[in-house]
Amino acid sequence: MIETTADLKAACAELAKSDFITIDTEFLRETTFWPELCLIQMASPDTEVLVDPLAKGLDLTPFFELMANPGVLKVFHAARQDIEIVYHLGNLIPHPIFDTQVAAMVCGFGDSVSYDQLVQRVKGVQIDKSSRFTDWSRRPLSEKQLDYALADVTHLREIYLALKAQLEREGRASWLREEMDILEARETYDIHPDDAWQRLKMRLKKPQELAVLKYVAAWREREARSRNVPRSRVLKDDTIYEIAQQQPKDTEALSRLRTVARGWERSAGGTAVVEAVNEALALPKSEMPHVPRHNQAPEGAAAATELLKVLLKLTAEKHGVAAKVLANSDDLEKIASEGDKAEVPALSGWRRDLFGETALQLINGGVALRFVGKRVEAVQL
């Protein structure tokens, strides 16, 4: 276990000699907005290290320098939360990266395959996951915890090499690169508070409702970040939705809402929410947000969507790719309704070559689906 800056510097220098390293982190997030980093695991083909970021006086600068080293490929499994931690603490995005979960989907291992499933299928090894939800902030960590943590990067070396070889063998390395570009984009992790409303899956009908939703969601986002508490600890999603609909202009009106706890309207938070509501309602009509119109799907779109689902499954099976990588249900609905004008990933890049072009031909009558023997197949007309 590395607990000093000098040891960390030496370990990172050793790891930097390799073409690639595998990385994982253990963290807690149940009671905080930002993940609390509790352990860092790293491995190269011949080096394995555990780093205690909670050790007194430990400076993580050597770790961040390694993350930024363009000559070392950083291999993660389900990288998004690990990268978010590095971005928050070190103000950088690891580069270059390789996400084995995404690579496994491209290689046909299924949708969002877990690490232990991947280890089982590639190496035939069963991982003991009983330490997964333990308290990683308590010290000392047990030998069982340390063994579990280290296994998350040691097996990952062989997983990476196996997936890399398959991608190159099947000519799919460029497909993965497109996905890694998204994971390496700062905007993936640096969400502005004014855009926090987009997390809310709520349909509103009036510009005033959407304006209130945006202002209150932005206030909640700033408050949660400044206090380092989960968003729900500040204000629940259902409460924001009710506030957007009812638009309370004073604390008395706020107190009458069903989802507001008794007495909360007299708190600083209650006052701030009322101010946000009034500020939103004071916007000139020309500055009110535009409510997206949910146009009724054209006749036959629902049936076309069902056909596209069958085609998606056929394509995924034929090419050994997880269906989720090619398209999701929303993508299929948009293609069925809007055709070539649909702005979805499935109609660009390698996805269009593999699935999108045939999908357009299907809804335009150029391709048919037929049942032959015990299989469904797509045929050109």
Q: Where residue 297 falls among pLDDT bands split at 50, 70, 90?
A: low
Q: Tell me: do 245 and 369 sit in the same domain.
A: no
- pLDDT of res. 300: 77
Q: How many domains does the chain have?
A: 3
Both tokens assigned to 11: 């370990």
Q: Tell me: do 154 and 26 sit in the same domain.
A: yes
Q: Tell me: do 30 and 86 sit in the same domain.
A: yes
Q: Where is the domain boundary, 245, 280, 315?
A: 280
Q: Has residue 286 been placed in a domain?
A: no
Q: Tell me: do 268 and 336 sit in the same domain.
A: no
Say if residue 96 is preceded by a cis peptide, omega within 30 of 0.
Answer: yes
Q: Give the range of the structural domain holding residue 203, as residue numbers without chain letter.
A: 191-280
Q: Has residue 172 been placed in a domain?
A: yes
Give me the mean pLDDT over the 81-100 stretch.
96
Q: Has residue 294 been placed in a domain?
A: no
Q: Where residue 241 falls among pLDDT bands split at 50, 70, 90?
A: very high
* Calpha distance 193→219 (Å, rounded): 8
Mean pLDDT of all residues belonging to the chain: 93
Q: Tell me: do 195 and 220 sit in the same domain.
A: yes
- Give the residue from 341, 327, 353, 346 showing the smallest Cα distance to 298: 341
CATH of the domain at 217: 1.10.150.80
CATH of the domain at 59: 3.30.420.10
Q: Is the CB of residue 42 less than 8 Å from the CB of residue 49?
A: yes
Q: Tell me: do 11 and 88 sit in the same domain.
A: yes
Both tokens assigned to 51: 């780093």
Q: Has residue 359 been placed in a domain?
A: yes
Q: Where residue 375 falls among pLDDT bands split at 50, 70, 90?
A: confident
- pLDDT of res. 31: 92
Q: Give the neighbor-by-neighbor strand order of the sheet with 36-44.
A: 47-51, 36-44, 20-28, 73-76, 97-99
Q: Tell me: do 8 and 152 sit in the same domain.
A: yes
Per DSSP bridges, beta strands 73-76 and 97-99 are: parallel
Q: Tell me: do 75 and 137 sit in the same domain.
A: yes
Q: Has residue 287 been placed in a domain?
A: no
Q: Where is the domain boundary, 280, 313, 335?
A: 280
- Residue 145 Cα to chain centre, angstroms: 26
Q: Has residue 174 been placed in a domain?
A: yes
Confidence check: pLDDT of 292 > 80: no
Q: Tell me: do 214 and 252 sit in the same domain.
A: yes
H/E run at residue 144: helix 143-169
Q: Tell me: do 200 and 143 sit in the same domain.
A: no
Say what the pTM is: 0.86
pLDDT, tens only, 229-238: 999 999 999 9
Q: Tell me: do 207 and 311 sit in the same domain.
A: no
* Calpha distance 200→217 (Å, rounded): 9
Q: Has residue 47 been placed in a domain?
A: yes
Q: Tell me: do 181 and 196 sit in the same domain.
A: no
Confidence check: pLDDT of 202 > 90: no
pLDDT, tens only, 322-363: 999 999 999 999 999 999 999 999 999 899 999 999 999 999
Q: Where residue 295 falls among pLDDT bands split at 50, 70, 90?
A: low
Burial class (CB in 10 A: 0-12, 13-18, 19+), 156: buried
Q: Where is the domain boundary, 160, 186, 212?
A: 186
Q: Has residue 15 been placed in a domain?
A: yes
